[in-house]
């Protein structure tokens, strides 16, 4: 076992200290993006506002992230359902030959629950719909690539003549779940008489989703 001399140990501590401090500062800046987005919306996402929220010199943002778009992209990637909460599940599903109805149900319901409970993610999705920005298009394209692989495996598990257009059905379900979740949290009113702030009506949406996916497509 190599012996560590006092001078060497001291050198390691001096080196690791700044590294940890840099990591803490970077995380603070990244988290500040979400705070600004929540308080001021996407028009408020400026270097000045983020630096003020993080209580750091704006020069550090350029030093660590090069520009605003890179910083915002890193933050959005960390909040995206497909790359965070569902990452392990998706990796497992992509390793399989086919995807079952139950597995697709769980994925969509998880997405619905996440959007319902994450106001920042709601803001990001609204931003995607209202502005044509490269970083948002990039995220949407990456999500679409993952979705395409999942759909192919789901379709593969349903051989034969299909009376239902699976892709169109999934598109309507996904878009509908997104909208219902954002409408419930942003507008606060009922939709088709359903109040998604109540567990009973939320479960009605989940049950309807399961019923649609469970229909015989053969």
Task: Report residue 71 as tokens.
Answer: 């910083």
Tell me the mean pLDDT in the region 163-189.
Answer: 86
Residue 136 located in a structural domain: yes
Q: Percent of the chain at pLDDT above 90?
A: 49
| Rounded (5°) CA angle 118-120-124 | 120
Of 19, 49, 78, the residue that ends a domain is 78
pLDDT at 159: 62
Residue 60 located in a structural domain: yes
| Residue 62 and residue 129 in one domain | no
Domain count for the chain: 2
Task: Report residue 88 as tokens.
Answer: 């392990």
Host domain of residue 47:
6-78
Cα separation of 88 and 101, whole Å? 18
The closest alpha carbon to 25, from 59, 64, 52, belongs to: 64
- Residue 137 has phi, psi (to 5 degrees) of -65, -40
| Residue 173 and residue 68 in one domain | no
pLDDT tens sequence across 39-73: 888 889 999 999 999 999 999 999 999 999 999 99
Residue 183 located in a structural domain: yes
Neighbours of 77 (CB within 10 A): 15
| Residue 22 and residue 59 in one domain | yes
Residue 140 located in a structural domain: yes
Of 45, 78, 111, the residue that ends a domain is 78
Residue 218 located in a structural domain: no
| Residue 175 and residue 99 in one domain | yes
pLDDT-derived band at 125 (thresholds 50, 70, 90) equals: confident
Cα separation of 111 and 170, whole Å? 13
| Residue 61 and residue 106 in one domain | no
* Structural contact between residues 73 and 138, judged by C-beta atoms closer than 8 angstroms: yes
Residue 122 located in a structural domain: yes
Q: Which residues pair with 194 in a beta bridge?
A: 191
Say if residue 146's pLDDT is above 60.
Answer: yes
Of 78, 101, 122, the residue that ends a domain is 78
Cα separation of 157 and 131, whole Å? 37
Q: Which residues pair with 191 in a beta bridge?
A: 194
- The segment with the largest mean pLDDT, out of 12-21, 94-103, 117-126, 180-189, is 94-103
| Residue 97 and residue 186 in one domain | yes
């Amino acid at each position: 076992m190599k012996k560590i001399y006092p001078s060497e140990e001291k050198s390691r501590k001096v080196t690791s200290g700044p590294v940890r401090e840099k990591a803490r500062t970077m995380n603070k800046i990244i988290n500040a993006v979400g705070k600004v987005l929540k308080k001021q919306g996407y028009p408020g996402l400026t270097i000045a506002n983020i630096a003020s929220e993080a209580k750091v010199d704006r020069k550090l943002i350029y030093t660590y992230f090069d520009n605003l778009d890179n910083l915002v992209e890193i933050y959005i990637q960390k909040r995206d359902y497909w790359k965070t909460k569902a990452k392990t599940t998706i990796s497992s599903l992509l390793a399989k030959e086919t995807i079952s109805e139950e597995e697709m149900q769980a994925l969509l319901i998880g997405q619905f629950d996440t959007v319902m409970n994450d106001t920042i993610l709601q803001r990001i999705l609204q931003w995607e719909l209202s502005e044509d920005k490269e970083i948002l298009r990039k995220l949407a394209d990456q999500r679409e690539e993952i979705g395409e692989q999942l759909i192919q495996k789901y379709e593969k598990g349903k051989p034969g003549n299909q009376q239902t257009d699976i892709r169109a059905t999934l598109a309507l379900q996904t878009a509908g779940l997104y909208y219902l979740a954002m409408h419930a949290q942003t507008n606060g009113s009922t939709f088709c008489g359903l109040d998604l702030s109540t567990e009973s009506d939320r479960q009605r949406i989940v049950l309807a989703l399961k019923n649609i996916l469970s229909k015989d497509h053969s």
